[in-house]
Structure 1
Amino acid sequence: MRLICFLCFWVVTGNAVLAQQYNFRNWTIADGLPQSNVVDIIQDQRMQLWVATLGGVSRFDGNTFHTYNKQQGLASNTTTCLFQDSRNRIWIGSADKGLTRFNGVSFTVLNTNHGLPAAAITSITEDKLGKLWVATDSGIYVWSGKKFNRSPHFPAQPYQVILPGAGGAMWAGSKNKGLYRLQQDKLQHFTSESYSLPSNNVTVIYAEPGTDNVWVGTTEGPAVVTDDKVTTLPLPPSVTDAAVSDFVKDGYGKMLIGLQQSGILKIDGDEIKHLTKANGLTSLHITSLYVDKENNIWIGNEGYGLQQCKAQWFLHFFELGDIKDPKITALAQDTKGRLWFGTDNGDAAYMQNGNLTMLEAKVWPPGTNLYGMWVKSEKDVWVSTSQGIWNLVPGKANHYTTAQGLPSDEVYTIITDTQGRLWAATSTGVAYLQGNTFHAVPVAGNYSFTKAYHLFRDGQNRIWVGTDNGIYRVKNNRLEKVKLLKQPFAGVMSVAADNNGWLYFGGYNYGLLAYHEKTGKAKLFTSANGLPNEGIKTLYTDRSNNLWVGTNNNVLKIDLPYFHQTQKLRFRSYGGENGFSGFEVSNNGITQTPDGKVWFGTTRGLTQYNPEMDRINTASPELMLTDISLFMRPTNWKKQGFKTDPATGLPVNLRLPFRKNHITFDFQGISMAAPAGVKYKYKLTGHDQQWSETTDQSFATYANLEPGTYTFKLKAQNSDGYWTQKPLAYKFSVIPPVWRREWFIGILLLLATGIVISVVRLREKSLVKMNALLEMRVNHRTRMLERKHREKELLLQEVHHRVKNNLQIVISLLNLQARHIQDPATKEVMQAIRSRVRSMALLHERLYRHNNLEHINLEEYFREICESLYAAYGVSEENVTLYLKIPDVTIDLDSAITLGLIVNELISNSLKYAFQDAATGKLGIELHQLENDHYQLMVWDNGIGAAEGLNQQKSFGLQLVASLTKKLGGEIKYENNNGTKFILYFVLPS
């Protein structure tokens, strides 16, 4: 038998179907709507919502309503319908004044002057050729581009709707004559009599996307037209008035039918759900339905404003039977998958197939806080409370307190081990039940804690304990402290594990700790490294390998496969903006039922998450600049003389004076799903090197901008992390002051250039005068130097002439003396002296005969020495041929005399000894430059050669040669082979 039968002595069952609360958001006149009767809704190309009311039209950007009425150019405040054509123009129908067309800048009224009747505009549409069709109270009209003409195909009568269908057909619904289809100029008429329409009063037509179905709404209910077949829909018994106001297909492919007096019908497969106020509708009087680009459902109400239904993957149970505003503190499920819960006020119940069964007669005192439940079987239920533990079995309820060994009556968690023993975590310690007595578990070592919040049994059947002083583990019936981090980690209120060997510990205000025992890895996540909220109250791993983290203000769904691969967090956060309206999740307040739905116990009741319905919003926000101001004050750009964009009021081609270089940009990223979740990045090219940090502020200020050209760029991210692909860009410039402008700088440059040219020219004139004067002085000095040079040369020539004459006198004296000498040896000596003096005289004679006193031609000099010696020794060149190979070198006077004396001695020696008895031969002098200033002088003959012992007994002449060689810093070598050869190596001064 069922559990309730076994426990009938204390359980009073009351089955009730629970109302599922959807995520609705409401806007009324207090929020900016011009009037509370919303008659039509559309969304433009910039994702802004347009809302038609009986008090004008509002453009809604997710935060603010911008209202247009007759003062802004509307034909009438009593609007009836809206339409956006293929050129993005907004058409607004009225009940009494025709049409108004808005092109993004201004309004244009089209009325009886343009062919429209003086009747209400009920519907506007456009065919595939771009032709505008209008339904009125007196017929169907078509816009020709200049005026409206009544369509001759449709009868002249009141119509409520006009709509294009598949294959170019045009559908029209009349107020009391049924439905019409115009195709290829052929009109087909559907009525309740001929085609079983629910009523001939057609209120709305909807062409279902992707099908040939045309949904028709009447005052007696909906029907579907497929080809020529009309099918009516059976309605739930709860629908008392079937008049249809609108159709729409949501993002899950479900058809929604708005009813004028009875709420909304939702067709889910074969099931038709009736949504009423119990599901969150503010009113049953539905006037319009619309699904925007982010799959949010918008609902227009009669007298109750505008509603938005979003995040349909969350359903809420804010009232549980007779329990108003329940605070769920205990959550569990039994072996049949039924969901059990308890509250902070002692209420207990379970849910099955949407039905609630309350436990009416409680065995615990009123106001007892239920912390946890464990349904061991249908006949064995355990409940941990603030007043101890109750075990409910057939016929009785066993109560365990400190009297039965519990460390405290405040018991937070209960679990069982592999031996079937019950373990309890209390406000003062941990204990396990053996028999009918609880035994406290001691703490090993010098560790201690005050409260044990949570017990968890992992895949290896080890029991982990979360306490206010960290993590403990049961080992040998003792609690051992587990240190996984160097820094403190406490307030552990929940523990969970996955199938990959990871354990997760939630530390309230300490963050999330992941630990892999096999590898020893421990990773702590806090607000510093990606965790948005450190106030973790409960953890749970579902069957889809997600880790759910319940915090004190939202819920995180962490992708565990991504964490296993990267050791980083990738998660989706659920809060009020994206459907999680339960606020704070209770301790141990998450579980998953066999149907895959995840349940949350919160401070506002129960919340159900359906993973099959979850959708990520991939529509990035639509960006727009809302204002540009100077010095953070409202700026009237027109009054300041700037041209403005008529659509936005923002300046065009903005060029700011250099003193107005403090600019603020106000902007908005339009996302109807979660306006408050939009975040931004921006940068000012020409000023910023990179994008700003992500921020939720919708303005950016730049002060003290330097003159130049800038482009403000903006990106936005929706609440699911999708960024705009193309940034918004606004280009402007700051004009430099007069003294920094190009034309002013050009004038300055011209002036400076003129001044420089004038100065240069004056300087040139001065330099010309100075150059002329200097030239005169230089010429004068040159003439004086030349004169002195000539005088010097003349003086030197005279000196050399006198030296030569004096040497000639010496030679004459030597000749006179030689005449009186009879001794041959003495004569020979006198002749040698005379030849030596003669060689010096020849050099001085050459110097005073030539103008160049610095350059001495050695070849001519050596030739004259040889000619003098040939004459002195009576040798002719016919007998002894003279070979000279002397390069053109520059030599100073002293070195020339030295070389001349050496050559004189060596040639004299050859003429005296080499050629005996008038023998013929050759005599040569060769000078070679070896490297740099090093030279080689060779004097050779091919005579009879020198006598043996010449090197040991040198003559005076050879001694003189050796001495002169040392003077030149050189050395001399002697060869005696087929004649004699003297080789002199020396260095000439550079």
Structure 2
Amino acid sequence: MKRLLLLILLISVALPAFSQILPFRSYSIERGLSEAVVNEMMQDDEGWLWIATGYGLNRFDGFQFTNYYEENGLLSNKIHALFQDEDGLIWIGTGAGVNIIEDDSITTHPDLSALESSSILEIFEDDRGEFWFATDGQGVWHYDTAGNLTQYGEVNGMGDDRVRDVVEDREGTLWFATRDGLTSLKDGNFRTYRMNDGLPDDKLRDLHLDKEGELWIATRGGLSHFTDGSFQNYTETDGLINNRIQSLSPDKEDGLWLGTEEGVSHFVDGNFKNYSVEQGLSNNIVHATLLDREENIWFGTFGGGISVFFGDHIRNYTIEEGLSNNVITSIIEDRDGNHWITSYGGGISKYDGETFTNYLEQDGLVDNKVYKAIVDRENRIVIGTRWGLSILHNGSFYNFDETELPYRKIRALAEGDEGEGFWLGTYGEGILHLKDGKFRHLQEQDGLANNTVLSVERGDDGSIWFATYGGVSRYLDGEFTNYTIRDGLPNNGILDILTDRDGNMWFSTFSGISMLDGEEFVTITEEQGLPDEVCYFILQDDEGIFWIGTKIGVVRFDYEVYREATNEGEQRKAFKLITQDQGLIANETNAGAGYKDDSGILWFGTVGGLTRFDPSRAPMNSAPPKVHIENVNISGEPVADRRKVRVSSENKNIGIDFIGISFSAPEQVLYEYRLRGSGEGWQQTNRRSVRYSALLPGDYTFQVRAQNNDGLWSEETATLSFTVMAPFWMQWWFIMLVIVVLVGIMFFIYNYYRVKKMVDIERMRVRIASDLHDDVGSALTEIALQSDFLQTTDVGDQVKQSLDQIGTQSRKIVSSLDDIVWSIDARNDTLGDLTDRMQDYINNVLPQKEVTYQFDDLDMSEKITVSMKENLYLIFKEAVNNIAKHSDADKVEVILKDRNGSFDLYIHDNGQGIKPERKSGQGLRNMEMRAKRIDAGIEFENGEGFTVHVFGKGM
């Protein structure tokens, strides 16, 4: 028994030396996961990955975890189940009932309060839109569309009250995985299948219905397939890694990924392929499995967090798997199918597909620091080291001593045509041509571009090409032809040479790659989309795709796509970067450390080990990213409500964080964004945030989309609308206020000068009136008096008659001048002055007549214009004169009244009116003319006396 235990221990210790590291990527507490025990996983319609743990709920975007706990609204921190319904709501099964996530808020449903005493292990929505809740000890609860909650358990026919999973088949039959058999519910009837019906074990954990509608059952006794009423079972004897299966998830071909208590099994076509911690899984106890929309498979473990697996097209080897050193410098394949791996410090290793055999100095190798190895025509391994040349044949080394080979740093090797021997490139000592046991030395003085040679390649025409630190040298018929930057190379430091299947020469350099098609160079650098400038090696696979080793990973380069691209964006689709996150053992490769073997497998040598890569099985990411705006902040303060974002005028600094969810290569997602309203076009970036400051006031819309590592753009564009508020001095109300103030100032200034001018005019009118009255009036009065005086003297009749005419005319002029002075004088501009003047005149002209006055609704203090006052008075005066001369009236009625801003003036007499032959008299025409001057109307009524009616707007 002790020997058996010792044997098991030795086997367990030895296994890692023969295992392979596969492309697993793991996340646990140190990366932000709330707990390392994962019970369930789900990817929602928006691309987020949800992880249910024993302590909290997590949402993952590829970079960071968002954690939710009881303080965020969860009924319990222990999460067992996750489900997204057809309406997009996320249902959470906790240790104390059910939560729902809606609009980023965690809520509870009042109809489900009865479940708060239950631990919910599974949530399922059937074809009728009704929900089923599987519990740990209280059976299953049915929540129908009417809001009724019904419980079913053992008493109703369930196999056990502990229910792990629920599915529905095409016929509408519900299947329940219980801790005591498989229960079906059809047409209201329960039926339970157990071990005596063919199940391998009664304790069930998970269920899956495949594309054919057939049921697969995860049990503690293996995998069971239920079809045509019978069970077909698969166990450890069939290759299953462990019989205790925890979870089932389909792959894209309807194979199954099985999470067990001893690792993972992939079941395809009746065969199992197994994976465990030895291949990179974070923990062997796997509770949950999930195939995401990019066809990556995720494993939720007990204590190891979550692991994502990208496929076994990549296998990695390090010193833990048997290599003697991790700094790999070259890889070759001999005629027996063995691979030989050289390392800088670990000699050379032979890999037969299962184990590594290492050859070091103690085995006869000239030096452990090996640069390059090739297989010659005799299936010998020719090895270039830091301290000379070794040839390995039939397990024995032949080394060249210092006398035979004085130049020791053999950096590059190539075998010439048959009988042409070997070409050796050295570090700083030029080229050595070994033929018939003798060395010929070629250096810069012989025409070589530079004495440091890193790669040697044979041309189809018998030429030999050398990659040097001074450019490319082509040697043919004893002559060198050199190519440098001046000829089109991106850099003179050449690291590797490749002849492609079309006969073109490719050169990898410190500044990109270049292709010589026989006539000219085609150079490709970072400006054209190459992810890194330092290119250590270049390979071409069987499909014609190029693979370039860089310091940040290996680049897949599709030259046909690049050549046919019409713009820079399409050119970038030709490049795809493979890094540690996609399974590469290390990102930094080594010069010349790339190889394609006879099976089409690519081998990449890095500073951290060896990667075996099968390009024919490498997945392409056909799922475009789901892009989201995650956070918005203004001056560092988060914005809670994004429906109406306003940026104040005091601080116009807005930051926007966004994410394109792509789990295959999250760090390689490319973003394109623009800010509509700012005038800028689309901008590209690898960063996941952008900040704007000092934006002009206005409305803006931020748009962002994402591109995955295979060049697919997101189908939707995430948007955010916001408004930058104008400062108060640019607000409409402030502008209106300023306009009103300016108009007010202008009006004030205008009124000030208008009033001042009116005052000046009034003063001038008073002065003119005074001058006319005092000077002209006095002079005319004096003339009249003098004429009267002269008439009393002894003068002739003719002179007396003239003097009488002068006196009469002077008095008439004085009377007219009196009217003019009254009109001009600003002191007589009120309505009361007008009515007083009218009464004085009519009383003087018609002293014997009965005159009545009616002045209605008039403000006698109201001022009227000179034109209105003068013309209205003269119309009145003309009418009174006509009455005096022609009417024979004994009664006169004068009416002046205000009619809501308009006026009416009536002068009516009871005389004989105007005879027909006088209707066109000069007096009437004068009245009409004066009415027009004040924009007033005038009417004459000839009947029962005569009436003059003047009417107009305002006084």
Partner SS, residue 115 of structure 2 = coil
Over the matched positions of the two proteins, sequence identity in percent amounts to 23
Q: 1:460 to 1:562 in 2, by over 3 A?
A: farther
**1:712 aligned to which of 679, 702, 709:** 702
Closer, same or farther: CA 236–676 of 1 in aligned 2, 3 Å: farther
Q: Deviations over 1:112-147 (max 9, x none)?
A: 973438443221111112111011222121113534
Residue 477 (structure 2) aligns with: 476
Counterpart residue number, 1:368: 368
**1:659 corresponds to which residue?**
650
Q: Is the contact made by 2:24 and 2:310 (CA closer than 8 Å) also made in structure 1?
A: yes
Partner of 2:338: 338
Aligned equivalents of 1:207 and 1:755: distance in 2?
A: 84
Query: How far apart in 1 are the matches of 2:360 and 2:745?
Result: 107
Task: Quote how far apart the aligned CAs of 1:46 are.
Answer: 2.0
Q: Give the equivalent residue in structure 2 for 1:150.
A: 151
How much has 1:327 moved relative to structure 2? 2.4
Which whole-Å deviations, capped at 9, do the CAs of 1:179-209 have from their partners, x for residues lacking one?
1222343444322211x2110111111222x
Q: What residue is the counterpart of 2:631 in the other structure?
A: 627
Q: Which runs of 5+ in 2 are unaligned?
A: 1-13, 769-955
Q: What TM-score do you get using the length of structure 1 for normalisation? A: 0.69
- Give the aligned residue type for 1:511: G
Q: What's the counterpart of residue 33 of structure 1?
A: 33
8 Å contact from structure 2 (residues 314, 614) kept in 1: yes
AA paired with 2:690? A
For 1:616-654, what per-residue CA distance to the aligned partner results, in whole angstroms no more than 9, with x for missing partners? 3233333333333233x235x5xxxxxxxxxxx234323
2:188 pairs with one of 163, 182, 185: 185
Residue in 2 aligned with 1:207?
A: 209
Distance 1:526 1:652 in 2: 44
Offset from partner CA, 1:825-881 (integer Å, 9 cap, x none): xxxxxxxxxxxxxxxxxxxxxxxxxxxxxxxxxxxxxxxxxxxxxxxxxxxxxxxxx
Separation of aligned partners in 1, 2:596 and 2:303: 40
For 1:268-307, list aligned pairs within 5 A: 268-307=268-307
CA contact (8 A) 2:376 2:415 kept: no
1:441–1:479 contact (8 Å) kept in structure 2: no
CA contact under 8 A between 1:282 and 1:304: conserved in structure 2?
A: yes
> How much does 1:215 deviate?
1.4
Tell me the alpha carbon deviations over residues 584-608 of structure 1, each in whole angstroms, 9 at most, x when there is no partner: 2233322222332211122222212
* Superimposed CA distance per residue, residues 430-464 of structure 1 (whole angstroms, 9 cap, x where no aligned partner): 12222222222355656552322111012223210
The letter of the residue matching 2:626 is E
CA distance 1:116–1:552, change in 2 (3 Å): closer
Task: Choose from 604, 608, 620 the match for 1:604.
Answer: 608
1:31 Cα offset (Å): 2.1
Deviation sequence 1:145-200 (CA, Å, 0-9, x none): 53421145646632222122333221101102x11222343444322211x21101
TM alignment of 1:48-67, pairs within 5 A = 48-67=48-67
Give, as a single letter, the amino acid of the residue that structure 2 aligns with 1:415: E
What is the Cα deviation at residue 244 of structure 1? 0.4
> Would the aligned equivalents of 1:540 and 1:548 in 2 still touch at CA under 8 Å?
yes
* Contact 1:621/1:717 (8 A) holds in 2: yes
Would the alpha carbon gap of residues 356 and 169 (structure 1) be closer, same or farther in structure 2, given more than 3 Å must change?
farther
Matched, 1:230 2:231: yes
Distance 1:315 1:156, change over 3 A: closer
Question: Match of 1:247?
Answer: 248
Q: Is the 8 A contact 2:385 2:408 kept in 1?
A: no
Question: What is the CA–CA distance in structure 1 between the aligned matches of 2:366 and 2:462, rounded to whole Å?
Answer: 36
Q: How does 1:577-588 map to 2 (within 5 A)?
A: 577-588=581-592
Query: How has the CA–CA distance of structure 1 residues 126 and 437 changed in structure 2, closer, same or farther, with 3 Å as cutoff?
Result: same
5+ residue gaps, structure 1: 1-13, 638-648, 777-990
Question: Partner residue of 1:678?
Answer: 669
Matches within 5 A, 1:917-936: none
Q: In the superposition, relative to structure 1, how do residues 528 and 157 fare at CA in structure 2: closer, same or farther (>3 Å)?
A: closer
Distance 1:749 1:115 in 2: 67
Q: Which residue of 1 aligns with 2:533?
A: 534
Q: Aligned ranges for residues 85-234 of structure 1 at < 5 Å? A: 85-95=85-95, 97-109=96-108, 114-116=113-115, 118-136=117-135, 137-145=137-145, 146-151=147-152, 152=156, 154=158, 157-176=161-180, 178-194=181-197, 196-208=198-210, 210-234=211-235
Residues of 2 paired with 1:156 and 1:530: CA distance? 60
CA drift of 1:272 comes to 1.3
SS at match of 2:433: strand
Equivalent residue for 2:687, pick from 697, 712, 727: 697
Instruction: Tell me, in whole angstroms, the C-alpha distance in 1 between the residues paired with 2:414 and 2:541.
Output: 20
| Partner residue in 1 for 2:578 | 574
Q: Secondary structure at the match of 1:258?
A: strand
Equivalent AA in structure 1 for residue 685 of structure 2: T
In structure 2, how many angstroms separate the alpha carbons of the residues matched to 1:299 and 1:17? 25
Q: Residue 216 of structure 1: CA displacement?
A: 0.4
Letter in 2 for 1:134: F
What letter corresponds to residue 461 of structure 1 in structure 2? Answer: G
Q: Judging changes above 3 Å, is the alpha-carbon distance between structure 1 residues 306 and 190 closer, same or farther for their aligned structure 2 residues? A: same
Count of aligned pairs between the two proteins: 739
Q: Secondary structure at the match of 2:632?
A: strand
CA 1:525–1:401 in structure 2 vs 1: closer, same or farther (change >3 Å)?
farther
* TM-score, length of structure 2 as denominator length: 0.71
> Bigger CA drift: 726-735 or 113-122?
113-122
| Alpha carbons 1:114, 1:147 under 8 Å: kept | no
Q: Counterpart of 2:685 in 1: which secondary structure?
A: coil
Deviation at 1:537, TM superposition (A): 1.6
1:662 and 1:702 in contact (8 A); partners too: yes
Q: Which amino acid aligns with 1:652?
A: R
Native 8 Å contact 1:669 1:716 kept in 2: yes
Structure 1 residues 242 and 700: alpha-carbon distance in aligned structure 2, compared to 1, 3 A threshold: same
**8 Å Cα contact 2:530/2:575 also seen in 1:** no
Counterparts of residues 734-883 of structure 1 (less than 5 Å): 734-746=724-736, 748-749=738-739
Partner of 1:722: 712
1:449 & 1:198 partners in 2: Cα distance? 72
* Counterpart Cα distance in 2 of 1:371 and 1:482: 25
- For residues 261-660 of structure 1, the aligned pairs below 5 Å read 261-310=261-310, 312-319=312-319, 321-323=321-323, 326-358=326-358, 363-365=363-365, 368-376=368-376, 380-394=380-394, 396-405=396-405, 407-427=407-427, 428-441=429-442, 443=444, 449-483=450-484, 485-486=486-487, 489-507=491-509, 509-517=510-518, 520-563=519-562, 570-631=574-635, 633-635=636-638, 649-660=640-651
1:857 is matched with none
Structure 2: distance between partners of 1:348 and 1:15: 22
CA distance in 2: counterparts of 1:130 and 1:445, whole angstroms: 84
1:74 aligns with 2:74: yes
**Given the superposition, is the C-alpha separation of residues 350 and 271 from structure 1 closer, same or farther in structure 2, using an over 3 Å criterion?**
farther
Distance in 1 between residues matched to 2:15 and 2:477, nearest whole Å: 46
1:382-436 Cα deviation digits (max 9, x unpaired) = 2222232222334853222442246335343232324352221122121222222
Measure, in 2, the Cα distance between the counterparts of 1:317 and 1:720.
Answer: 26
Letter matched to residue 462 of structure 1: S
Q: Shift of the alpha carbon at 1:577?
A: 3.4
SS at 2:236 equivalent: coil
SS in structure 2 of the partner of residue 316 of structure 1: strand
Change beyond 3 A, Cα 1:249–1:124: same
C-alpha spacing 1:702/1:669, structure 2 compared with 1 (3 Å): same
- SS of 2:539's partner is strand
Aligned 8 A contact 2:359 2:365 in 1: no
The 1:213–1:389 alpha-carbon spacing in structure 2 relative to 1, beyond 3 Å, is: farther
**Cα distance change of structure 1 residues 317 and 588 upon mapping to structure 2, 3 Å threshold:** same
Q: Are the equivalent residues in 2 in contact too, given 1:349–1:359 (CA < 8 A)? A: yes
Segment of structure 1 superposing worse, 470-479 or 108-117: 108-117
Q: Check whether the contact 1:205–1:217 (CA below 8 A) recurs between aligned residues.
A: yes
Shift of 1:357: 4.9
* Structure 1 residues 740 and 471, CA gap change in structure 2 (3 angstroms): closer
